[in-house]
Amino acid sequence: MIQIDRLTKRFDAVHGIFDVTLRVEPGTVFGFIGPNGAGKSTTIRHLMGLLHADVGQARVMGHDCWRESERVKASVGYLPGEINYPQDMTGEEIIRLTSRLHRTSQEREHRLRTIFPFDTSLKVRKMSKGMKQKLGIVTCFMKDAPVYVLDEPTSGLDPLMQERLIEWVLAEKAAGKAILMSSHHFPEMEKTCDRAALIRDGRIIIEADMDELKRRSVKVYQIKLTSEAEAQALAEKVGTRDGCIVTVPVSTSDELNALIATLTRFEVESLTSGADELEHMFMQYYGEATS
Amino acid sequence: MTLVHSLFKQNRSWIFGYAFGTSLYLFFLAAIFPSIKETGLIEGKLESLPPELLDVFKIDPSLAMDNVVNLLAGNYYGLIFYVLAILFALTFASRLMAKPVDSGEVMLYMAAPISRGAYVSASLIVLLLATVLFVVLNGLSLTLADVMFDLGIDYGLMWTLQLNAGLLLLVLGAIAFVIASLFDDSSRSYMVTGGLFALFLIANIFSGFSETFSWLERLSVFSLFDANAQLQGDVPTVSFLVLIGLLALSVVACYARFTRKDLSI
């Protein structure tokens, strides 16, 4: 459904995207992850026919995103990363205009307005970030498209709305839609994505199925012991010590079971897990990017 | 049609503002013309003004102020109209190209299954509608004043002036649109367009100062709308043809540029 092959757009010697290749199949959600300025939005702009590639091509439903952008946009529901609708239009006017510009479903519109409620009589300039985001979600999904491109979809939403959006995306996935989702919100990626890629400095540096990524990822546990002597004793077996706290990285279930067995011989005060597995793995790459 | 309707609705306030504002000005100027004519103050005032100032405002002192159109040639269809036309063109290009692209608002349309060419067409139709409203309401307000105050307006001349004014508005609007599409930064596009139009204006003003500078007239698009020459019987066929040619070139440039432009929105 979405095919990007060796897509290259060079803004200058350093900035741009280089050799980006990915596929999003029907009935799957593809997570697109990366630090700010890594090239996520540039890639998405090519899909929407906003940018012309120097090399390579982007196709949606078999149509070239630059030369056949009308056909591509007819098949794509798009949620931009920044909702910048005309400031003097009301939410209702934007929904009505969207329904005329796109082929939308009244039934979907009604459901979306119930699930993501907000005051549609307000002008965009008076809306909060969360309200604008809900407006963007309604206008994106009221179109029953086979492909969705979502740029930071949960940005500005409260936890309840985030959960509802995840449920909506999962339902769309179950209905056979192909969804490309860029996000920094790792829990939602873990819940929704089947496959993910990390882009850094314009290049995809890792791409794999989510299960594979989880297998590869390292979970970090922080174990607080009752005394520094206990902590020192544990640190000599596993991990590193900072006062009474020992940090232990675990990457397989065998290692986790071995750790639990070891801990039975110590006076443990508390045990907490660090960042989520996926988040931890990607944060390592983020860290490399920013350092 | 949806696109044109939506763009017109979003822009109707400034479109009606220019059309009604200038029409009211023309109506009131025409309404007070009989009393101005009776007092003979205008001729006296014109005689007292330095010729350079008359040149700047495109007022021909040889024209007798016995007709309201003669009065308007000096008090509207000269510098005042040129400045209004510049503001009109800048507003159009800013509202339909520079600002929507800079702020990302144009994404509302770019995400829809419509081509870039369709957006340009819709924008140019809005320009055409705004121009037609501007000049037709101007003409109608003078017609109403004529009916009410029996001003003896030469309708053939008046509508020729309106048509010439309309063509100038279209050309300036299309040029401003092309320049706006060259930049992603709206402030830079205002600066370049404003600078170019100011140069046209200065060239037009200086061309009237002396024979030495008369060649400057050829550099200015404003020399293609000379109300005084038309009042003295000139038929503006060449001006019309040049304006139509410039309009055609600008329109082609609008399509060529915007359909190839990278949009970082």
The pLDDT mean for chain A works out to 90
Which residues in B lie closer than 8 A to residue A70 (C-beta atoms)?
A: 113-115
Is B187 within 8 Å of chain A by CB? no
Sorted by where each begins, the domain ranges of chain A are 2-208, 217-290
Sorted by where each begins, the domain ranges of chain B are 2-258
In CATH, what class is A217-290? alpha beta
Name, in order, each residue with C-beta under 8 angstroms of A217's C-beta and a sequence gap of 6 or more: A251, A277, A278, A280, A281
> Smallest Cβ distance to B112: which of A50, A73, A88?
A73
Fold of the A2-208 domain: Rossmann fold (3.40.50)
- Does residue A286 register a pLDDT over 80? no
Of A157-171, B162-176, B224-238, least confident by mean pLDDT is B224-238
A70·B107 Cβ contact <8 A: no
Is B259 within 8 Å of chain A by CB? no
> Smallest Cβ distance to B263: which of A50, A76, A101?
A50
- Which pLDDT belongs to residue A290? 53
- Which pLDDT belongs to residue A92? 96
B105·A69 Cβ contact <8 A: no
- Which pLDDT belongs to residue B64? 59
Of A73-77, A91-95, A114-118, A238-242, least confident by mean pLDDT is A238-242
Which residues in B lie closer than 8 A to residue A78 (C-beta atoms)?
A: 111
DSSP A221-289: EEEEESSHHHHHHHHHHSSEEETTEEEEEE-SHHHHHHHHHHHTTS-EEEEEE-S-HHHHHHHHHHHHH
- Which pLDDT belongs to residue A122? 95
- Does residue A265 register a pLDDT over 80? yes
* Cβ atoms of residues A180 and A24 within 8 Å: yes
Looking at the predicted complex, does its ipTM rise above 0.85? no
Mutation pick from A64, A84, A124 vs chain B, by most beta carbons of B within 10 Å, is A84
- Which pLDDT belongs to residue A42? 93
Six token digits for residue B128? 């055409």
Which residues in B lie closer than 8 A to residue A37 (C-beta atoms)?
A: none
What digits encode the pLDDT tens for the residues A1-49? Answer: 899 999 999 998 889 999 999 999 999 999 998 888 889 999 999 999 9
What digits encode the pLDDT tens for the residues B140-163? Answer: 999 999 999 988 889 999 999 999
Task: Please indicate, yes or no, whether the overall pTM of this predicted structure exceeds 0.90.
Answer: no
Average of pLDDT values for A161-185? 93
Which residues in B lie closer than 8 A to residue A97 (C-beta atoms)?
A: 2, 6, 108
Three-class SS state of B85: helix
* A190 vs A75, residue with greater confidence: A75
DSSP B204-257: HHHHTT-GGGGGGGGG-GGGG--HHHHHTT--THHHHHHHHHHHHHHHHHHHHH
Closest approach of chain B CAs to the CA of A107, in angstroms? 20
Average of pLDDT values for A56-78? 95
* Cβ atoms of residues A17 and A43 within 8 Å: yes
Backbone angles phi, psi at B240, to 5 degrees: -60, -45
